[in-house]
Every structure is written in C-alpha cells, then in structure tokens.
A and B are shown apart, each in its own frame.
Chain A
Amino acid sequence: MSVVVAKNIRKSFGALQVLKGVSLTVEGGEVVALIGRSGSGKSTFLRCLNGLESIDDGEIEVAGHRMSRKPAELRQLRRDVGIVFQSYNLFPHLTAGENIMLAPVQVKGLPRQAAREEARRCLSLVGLGDRFDAYPDMLSGGQQQRVAIARSLAMQPKVLLFDEVTSALDPELTGEVLAVIENLARGGMTMILVTHEMGFARRVANKTIFMKDGIIHEEGPSAEFFSAPKTPELQAFLRSEVG
C-alpha cells in the first residue's frame, strides 16, 4: 500500500517557481533519499508533504489523509507524519522527556504515565535512555537530534520525514544520528530523507531521487542510481559531492 502519493506538485515563492511538477510514490516500509544542490526544491517538497508549505497545484495523500488547508484535517494528517528538522527544534524549556511527552499527552490524549513510559521507550530506541531529565542545552547536537527523532517516534507516525538532519553536525555526531535512522529502516519504518550523505543514501535508501531546478531529474533504485548514473547532470553532481 502506498503511504505517500504526491502528484504533479507545483509551488512558487512569489515569482520564483520552486517546484515545477514533482510526483512521488512511496510504499510502506520503503526508504527514499532526496538529493540535489541547494535551491533544487528538495526541502520545499518535503515540507509540502506535511503541509508546512502549501502547494499551488497538484495532489498529496499521506498515510491515508488527503492534504487539506482546513486546520482540523491538517492536524489529523500531521499526527501520522513525523518530521525531523536540520536544527532539531526541540522546545528549550522542556526536558528531553517532556519534549517527547508533550504531543502524545496534548494531541493524542494519552495519560501522563503511559506517555512517560512511551517517552522512555523512544529515548532508549535512540540510545538516550539515561537522559530523560536533561534539558536540550545540556545535550550535544547529535543527542538533541536523537531526542528530536524520539519525539517524532512517540507519535507512532506512519511515515517519517528527515530534512537534512545531519547538516548541522560534525562527522562523529553525524554517525550516531545516521545509526539511529538506519535502525529505523531495518525496523520497517517508511522514511523520506533529504540528505547530503551520499554513502548513507546508497546503503540505506531503497530508492534515490535527484532533484534539479524544481523537477525530478533522475531517480532509481539506489544501487544502480549511484553506480551507473544516466544523466550528465547527476554524474557531475555525484562527482562534486564525493569531492
């Protein structure tokens, strides 16, 4: 069953057309990597999938919810779609545990005790079982990002979106965050990742998509995509990324 279906998405910021008809289908349990240069539209596309950006044209259906502008319908969709941001976006006044408990208690109406246990379970999943009471400013960037992943997991989403989640981290911390994502992939989580980590995309993603100038320029199963890129633009991009 398709968890994400996006058809012919168009989006402009003022006179600048950022997405010029992007279509994507993601099946349950699939991991899709979105790559491309800055300004290619990959992050904007990802943000359209949970309604953080409104679309000008096209259709989106995620986890069985049709994209809507109505706040109540949008909230229903967002309950099933997790997103992790480049700059973590943890709530600074709440501990790691409270960050994770907030939405299950307020949005899902989970009793506090159950939410606390769920938060502990999610923290253990990302290897931070002992940092429940730590405030975000007491954690390293990598730890904060893992808490942010745990916060999304606690809502038991049907699909997780990752928006360049390791771009603000140094290589060592990047490794610990990627290890968590790889674990989720093995556990069968449906995920879409905007990333600059080519090796990771190649290893973990079932499918990789190269975006350029607001369209999908080339896509394919990751193994072939990286070993035998067809278009000269992707070849040039991969050369520059490998450096």
Chain B
Amino acid sequence: MNYTFQFGPLLNYLPQVVSGLWLTLLLSFVGIFGGIALGVASAVLSTSPWKPGRLLVRIYVEVTRNTPLLVQIFVIFFGLPNIGIRLSPLASVFIALVFNNGGYVAEIVRGGIEATHRSQVEAAESLGMTYFQTLRFVILPPALEKVFTPIVSQCVLLMLSTSLVSAIGVEDLTGAAMIASSETFRTMEIYLVIAVVYVVLNFVFRGVLNIAGLMIFTRSRRRLLGRA
C-alpha cells in the first residue's frame, strides 16, 4: 500500500470528460423522458379493454425487465445488423435506454392506475366524459402522483445505467474515463473522479425531478408546505 495518488495527468483529459458528461446528461434526459412517455402510454394500453394491446404490453414489459440492459444494447447494436437494420452506436443506445426505462415505468404506472378506484371512473362516465377525458383528467393525475417517488428512483437508476453505453464505444462520462485510464494508467484516480461526478449527478437529477413533481402535482405541494 504505497500507492501515490496523482491527479495531475488527468487535467489534460478535462475536455473529453466534460463532453462525456454532456453526453451522459443527454442520454439520461432522453432515456428518462422518452421512457416516461413510452411507459405511461404502455401502462394505459395495459389497462385498456383492448386485449391484443394488453398482451403486447405484457410481452414488452416482461422482455425489458427480465433481460440485462447491456444485452439489450448488444441486441440492438450487434444483433439488428444481421437482419439488415444498421444503427449508429448513439442511435442504438438511445433506443435501448428509452425501451428499457419504458418497461420499468410502465409497470410502476400500471400499479398507480390500478390503485385508482373504479368508482372514480364511474363518476367521470356519469358526467358524460369520454374515455380519453376520463384518462386525462381523472385516472392519470392521481395515479402518477401516487407513483411519482418510485418513478424518480427508477429514472435515477437509469441515469447511472447510461454508463453501460461505453461498452459499445459511446464516449459518455464512463467512456471518456476509459480512454483517459488506458492512456495515463491513472486508473484509480480517473474512476474515483467520475464516481464523484455520478454522485453529484444523482443528487441533481433527484432534486430536479422532485421539484418538477411538486410543480406538476399541486396537491402534494400543498401537503408539503402544510397549507390547509
């Protein structure tokens, strides 16, 4: 144990790390919001009266949640070219992240929708509202409010999982670190640094998402501020 930490050589790689950070932010942003959109749509379909739709979502959710994200990325990037679909590494990982997050969000939101009582739907229908009006104004708002905390957890996890994209050569934060590490051999230092960056990102994402939640769900805001 006579290792001497040398962070100096890493400074040369600051531009790569910063551009990696931007890519990580972009991947997370697309993965999170694309995934939420896909997940909510899937959850709605999975609770709709339309049977083929329910089955389709069931298969989608089981596939995404029972296979590793890394394998999903490999299938899209290495597997699809075999059947003639050739995607760039970046396009592949965008698709994989949205697809993966969507599966998890779908299952969380489905729980929220099913916890919304049938009597709410009856009240809305009795007022002459259409299926989509009922969904938009009566079912989804309280359902999403109920499951907002687990959705935030899932989305922060997804942000951490974006590091897997480095496996196919995408230069996100982790990808940039791999390059710096192999060229300087200051492996411990570089990975410690980006670990700290991930920790900070974690808090930033959690904070931003929770603030967004408070802005969207006025009732939660009232509870938090204790305003009767």
Binds A, one of B9-17, B37-45, B115-123, B150-158: B115-123
Q: Given A92-B142, A93-B142, A93-B217, does the pair A78, B123 have CB atoms closer than 8 Å?
A: no
Q: Write out, one digit per residue, whether chain A residues 220-236 have a CB within 8 A of any chain B CB (1) or not (0).
A: 00000000000000000
**B128 & A79 in contact (Cβ 8 Å cutoff):** yes
- Report yes or no: B133 in contact with A106, Cβ–Cβ below 8 A: yes
The 8 Å CB contact of A135, one of B123, B125, B222, is: B222
Least distance between B218 CB and chain A CB atoms (Å) = 8
Assess whether B129 is in contact with A103, with CB atoms less than 8 Å apart: yes
* B212 interface contact, C-beta 8 A: no
CA distance A102 to B137 in the complex (A): 8
Judged by a CB distance under 8 angstroms, whether B200 is at the interface is no
In the complex, which residue of chain A has the Cβ closest to the Cβ of B228?
A138
B104-146 vs A, CB cutoff 8 Å, 1 = contact: the mask equals 0000000000000001101111111111010001100110010
Tell me the A70-100 residues at the B interface (CB within 8 Å).
Answer: 71, 75-76, 78-79, 81-83, 85, 87, 89-93
Within B203-228, the residues touching A (CB, 8 Å) are: 217, 219, 222, 228
Name the residue on B nearest A154 (C-beta): B127
Interface residues of B, dominant DSSP: helix
Question: In the complex, which range does the number of interface residues on chain A fall in?
Answer: 20 to 34
Q: How many Å from the CB of A238 to the closest CB on chain B?
A: 31
Assess whether A89 is in contact with B128, with CB atoms less than 8 Å apart: no
Cβ-defined contact, A93 with B145, below 8 A: yes
Minimal Cβ-Cβ distance residue in B for A136: B219
Contacting pair B128 A155 (CB below 8 A) = yes
Across the interface, do A155 and B219 meet the contact criterion of CB distance under 8 Å? Answer: no
Specify which chain A residues have a CB less than 8 angstroms from the CB of B219 in the assembled complex: 92-93, 135
Q: A134-164 CB contact bits vs B (8 Å, 1 = yes)?
A: 0100100000000000011001000000000
A134 to chain B, nearest CB (A): 9
By beta carbon, the residue of chain B nearest A106 is B133
- Which residues of B are at the interface with A, using a C-beta cutoff of 8 A? 119-120, 122-131, 133, 137-138, 141-142, 145, 217, 219, 222, 228
Cross-chain pairs A/B with CB under 8 angstroms, 25 sampled: A52-B126, A71-B130, A75-B130, A76-B128, A78-B125, A78-B128, A85-B122, A87-B119, A89-B119, A90-B123, A91-B120, A91-B123, A91-B124, A91-B137, A91-B138, A91-B142, A93-B219, A102-B127, A102-B137, A102-B138, A107-B127, A135-B219, A138-B228, A152-B127, A155-B127
Task: List the 3 shortest-distance A-B pairs measured between CB atoms, nearest first.
Answer: A103-B127, A89-B123, A79-B128
